[in-house]
Structure 1
Amino acid sequence: MTVRLGELAKSFGLDMQGDPETQITGVCTLQPGKPGCIGFVAHPKYRSQLNATLASAVIVTPAVAGDYAGNALIARDPNLAFARVATRFDDEPKVCGGVHASAVVDPSAEVAGSAWIGPNAVVEAGAVIGERVSVGAACVVSRNAVLGEDTRLEARVWVGRRCVLGAHCRVHPGAVIGSRGFGNVQSAEGWVAVPQLGAVRIGDDVEIGANTTIDRGAIDDTVIGSGVKLDNQIQVAHNVHIGDHTAIAACVGIAGSTRIGQRCLIGGGCGINGHLVIGDDVIILGFAMVTKSLPNAGQYGSGMPVEPAREWRRTVARLRRLKSQEARLRALEHILQIDSGENGDDTGEPDLA
């Protein structure tokens, strides 16, 4: 696809400088850049690379545009503008309706004529497949599950019974939606499995990463709000609620019945305990361990940053000595309090004279 720079500016409501007839065939990084493509500068530290780029145009802030003589689209948020411009060059094929010869579709399933059911996919009884939905190779859509319009399942996605995905969702390979929640009760004879009678309800415009698992609810449903973005290899346990437009990076584990608010940002590798409440607009830094509720907006973290092994061993040694040092400190405080009382000091402070 080839688009004129002026056309891109008009399509996305951006100001421009330079030649509007410049032909753009794709997007590229700033360095080294690529002739015929458009890059972007979002952070001041990359500003020095601007004059050396081979890109035919760049997306920059108004401040940067003033110091640059080349072709540019001007945006207050170059990251966002670049993301939108890049959609014009996305070569992902559009959905063409049909059912592959190797697919198995139950006669009672409702499949829109514009939907695609791929090779070796299975659509069980009572399932509803909306307009322009794509069900990729070897996917399973279990009985009475619902996929909203324009939703796309990549290869080998499993959707459990009665689970509902809204419109414009995208689920990447290997994801599991509606697996049995981890509900067990201990008895004298061993563990007794608790039936997981709920389902999973997912809103519109949700993205679910590869090999991410969302468990079905024990009684009520597990709920994922609209606009939520889940990275790869995330575990969402039964009865978790995730609010609209929250984004969660890879390898996060969320235990059962925790409620996460809207517009939260959760860094990779975090562990979140069960039955907690995390409020709206909370940011949790990567590798944090969340063991208590965080009802108020703000940034939270608990992971220790990496350091040279020798320094790390010293830190661990200090941590191990804390208990004995605390006991010694308490003993000293007790002695000082006794001495203070004997000296008649009403302030409670030790007499250091």
Structure 2
Amino acid sequence: MPTLLDKDQSIDLGRLLSLVDTSNIDLQLILADDSAFIMGISSLSKAIRGDITFLNDIRYIKYVSDTNASAIIVSDKIYSDLIMRNSMPDCSFIVCNNPYLLYARVTHWFNKQLSKNISQNIHSSAIVSTDSIIGHNVEIGPHSVIGPGVVIGRDAKIGSGCAIGKNSDIGDNCLIHSRVTLYPNTTIGSRSLIHSGVVLGADGFGYALDKSSSCFIWNKIYQFGRVEIGSDVEIGANTTIDRGALDNTVIGNGVKLDNQVMIGHNVIIGDGTAIAACVGIAGSTKIGKRCSIAGAAMVSGHITIVDDVHISGATAIISNIIKSGRYTGIYPYSTHSEWQHNAPIISKLSKIRKLIKSFFKK
């Protein structure tokens, strides 16, 4: 990992911790010497002097003795294990009850420092409608187009090559990376992060079949809803969210979407839900709060999933889930030859069941 800050920007470790959000974190700073100055953040094995790193998994404790980091964030248990193993490196420690959360908060501080070095302006090649409203300290990158009636909140950053459709609304402190497309009337709450290639508000997949002619004709159903994105949302690269047919597609506050997620029209996703890569959610499905959906899971349309549901990877959900908990529907992988023997049996389970029932009736 390269050093993130110049030497003259380095910060005393104690000062760094005073500037980081440590709410809900109990920590103790154990200094190796009178002071430790931090210039970067890195993984345990790649860290150099001046870096802060973290250790949250006991499996990686073997790398601690060889690290060159200046400071390590650890749990109390891991710190005690290091003392018992007598493998303490020459560095400072931040011992806390949630190392991974503190590491996340430290990355926020570094990201803010790097953002300060970006000039705040509207590039000369950007096209900004005269009746749009651009907040204070907004950056708009090269070749981006801001449509009529658009509102962009203060301190927002719009990357290069973006298209922000008519009457869209982007909240304060949003970061929209290059090549993002917002169709008209899309709204994004404050502090949201949208990665490259995201498309918000394209038409949902809606067609009515006309069977009256010899050749079936699919009649397009035009979509008049919009996409509403809450605050503190992150949307990964090349994810697409279709606008509603009549009602809106709604993504709640604090939702995290990975890369290449597809969300159909009229879907509603509750606050604090996280969805991993390559998940597909068909139209008009409602997903509750604090859910998690692992990679490549598929969710059928017009169903409801309650709060606090966790769906394993590659699972297909085809009906309502009315009770919170973890749900898995994956056939365990095996060697191909084993699969060839098992697959024919699985396809005949219903027939086998009937035979067993008839046998016991006799």
For the criterion TM > 0.5, the same-fold answer is: yes
Match of 1:15 among 25, 28, 38: 28
Match of 1:53 among 67, 70, 83: 67
Contact 1:243 1:261 in 2 (8 A): yes
Match of 1:115 in 2: 138
Match of 1:29 in 2: 43
Gap change, CA 1:62 and 1:121, over 3 Å in 2: same
Deviation at 1:319, TM superposition (A): 1.1
Deviation at 1:57, TM superposition (A): 1.9
Q: How many residues align?
A: 335
Match of 1:93 among 97, 115, 124: 115
Structure 1 unaligned blocks of 5 or more:
337-353
Tell me, what secondary structure is at the counterpart of 2:265?
coil
Aligned residue identity for 1:276: I
Tell me, what secondary structure is at the counterpart of 2:63?
helix
Match of 1:347 in 2: none
Match of 1:237 among 235, 249, 264: 264
Q: Following the alignment from structure 1 to structure 2, what is the Cα–Cα distance between the partners of residues 305 and 150?
A: 44
Match of 2:14 among 6, 23, 31: 6
Q: CA RMSD in A?
A: 1.8
Tell me, what secondary structure is at the counterpart of 2:115?
coil
Gap change, CA 1:9 and 1:74, over 3 Å in 2: farther
Gap change, CA 1:59 and 1:283, over 3 Å in 2: same
CA deviation string 1:63-93 (max 9, x = no partner) = 2223344521011111111111223333643
Match of 2:102 in 1: 81
CA deviation string 1:143-176 (max 9, x = no partner) = 1111111112111111011111111111101100
Match of 1:306 in 2: 333
Asked if residue 62 in structure 1 is aligned to residue 83 in structure 2, the reply is: no
Tell me, what secondary structure is at the counterpart of 1:315?
helix
Structure 1 window deviating more from structure 2 (249-258 vs 304-313): it is 304-313
Aligned residue identity for 1:252: V
Q: Following the alignment from structure 1 to structure 2, what is the Cα–Cα distance between the partners of residues 16 and 134?
A: 35
CA deviation string 1:242-278 (max 9, x = no partner) = 1111110000000111111111111010100111111
Structure 1 window deviating more from structure 2 (23-32 vs 246-255): it is 23-32
Match of 1:346 in 2: none
Match of 1:38 in 2: 52
Deviation at 1:96, TM superposition (A): 4.2
Q: Following the alignment from structure 1 to structure 2, what is the Cα–Cα distance between the partners of residues 294 and 37?
A: 46
Asked if residue 272 in structure 1 is aligned to residue 299 in structure 2, the reply is: yes
Q: Following the alignment from structure 1 to structure 2, what is the Cα–Cα distance between the partners of residues 268 and 203?
A: 22
Deviation at 1:6, TM superposition (A): 2.2
Task: Normalising by structure 2, report the TM-score.
Answer: 0.87
Deviation at 1:32, TM superposition (A): 4.8
Match of 1:248 in 2: 275
Deviation at 1:36, TM superposition (A): 2.1
Structure 1 window deviating more from structure 2 (71-80 vs 93-102): it is 93-102
Q: Following the alignment from structure 1 to structure 2, what is the Cα–Cα distance between the partners of residues 104 and 8?
A: 40
Structure 1 window deviating more from structure 2 (318-327 vs 156-165): it is 318-327
